[in-house]
Amino acid sequence: MKLLAHIASGKYQGAKLFSSEMSLEGDGVEVKFTTMEWNGEFDNVEAYAVNAESREFAIASEIHDRWVRRILLPAVASGIGQTGQLYRDANSQVILTNGGNEYRTTGNPSGKAIAGTIAGGIAEQTGKVMAEDASKLPVKQVKVNKGKVIGIQFIKAVTDADKVTR
């Protein structure tokens, strides 16, 4: 992911800063700018995006905690799957002998048992897939809207030594 920022006023008015280094930090995303274009020249820079009001190094327009998608939905699907197992098991009997052997017998399943088993199997598989997919998602999703006003904090001065020759 890349981010482009334009400086609207001050000494570097009209400059463009480029970033490809971003990471989730607190309630936002930390953006490190590494290149700046100004007056047709490029410079290596070390600068960060900052929240224009709080001056924090984490910016965000929207923050979404993904607990519903990561925890709740897979748990509900898993619960439905376990209900289907109850329907399947409700139609069988387990007999234990004195020798410790176990026998399972089933009768003719009812329509409810068949429908419950099918729905439960689908839900169980869905829960597994959803849980696996959800484990790959970051806990939070942060969006920075196009045109959001941010501050730029230069960590070191930009000098002639920072010029990029092409």
Task: In whole angstroms, give the CA distance from residue 36 to residue 34.
Answer: 7
* pLDDT tens figures, 118-141: 877 887 788 788 888 877 777 777
* Residue 7 CB neighbour total at 10 angstroms: 15
Answer for the pair 7, 152: CB distance below 8 angstroms, yes or no: yes
Give pLDDT, residue 12: 84
Task: In whole angstroms, give the CA distance from residue 140 to residue 67.
Answer: 9
* pLDDT tens figures, 40-90: 999 999 999 898 888 888 888 777 777 777 778 788 877 877 777 776 666
Q: Choose among 16, 48, 14: nearest CA to 32.
A: 48
Mapped onto helix, strand or coil, the DSSP state of residue 127 is: helix
* pLDDT tens figures, 49-63: 898 888 888 888 777
